[in-house]
Amino acid sequence: MSARTRKAKRTQAGPPHRYHRPNVKRQPYPIILTADAEAHLAALAAGEMAMVASAIERQLKYQPTVETRNRKRMDVDKRLYIAPWEPRVEHLRVYYAVTDDPERVVVIVAVGEKDRNRVRIGGKVIEP
């Protein structure tokens, strides 16, 4: 068997590896901040602002509608309802909505600071 034949045998495609994923690139959701959310972010300390920006990028870019340990769907019946979704970033909360029509977009509505059962958004305290 020549070297050329051996090389050809090694490079032949076999069955897909069991961890093989199709080469499909996930499309990220564009993230839009409302004017109020930008003002809320600007009111935070620089470290908190960086932490929130990093969490938004990490948690909301590809799967914003999947519940996780740090991201939950808000209950519409509660008085504290601000937006449909709320991920937590340490003591901070980011409130956002996801629209699929006409295109997929994540809209950040507000950023607040949580202290026990109170949320402070833009200097205003919201209690249940």
User: Domains of the chain: which residue ranges?
Assistant: 23-126
Alpha helices for 43-79 (secondary structure H): 46-60
- Give the containing element (helix H, strand E) for 85: strand 85-89
In this prediction, residue 16 carries a pLDDT of 56
The CATH number corresponding to 23-126 among 3.30.43.10, 3.40.50.10420, 3.40.190.170, 3.30.2310.20 equals 3.30.2310.20
Tell me: the pLDDT tens digits for 24-79? 567 889 999 999 999 999 999 999 999 999 999 999 999 999 999 999 998 888 76
In Å, how far are 5, 85, 96 from 81, measured between CA atoms?
67, 9, 11
In this prediction, residue 25 carries a pLDDT of 65
In this prediction, residue 11 carries a pLDDT of 56
In this prediction, residue 91 carries a pLDDT of 92
Tell me: the pLDDT tens digits for 79-110? 678 899 999 999 999 999 999 888 899 999 99
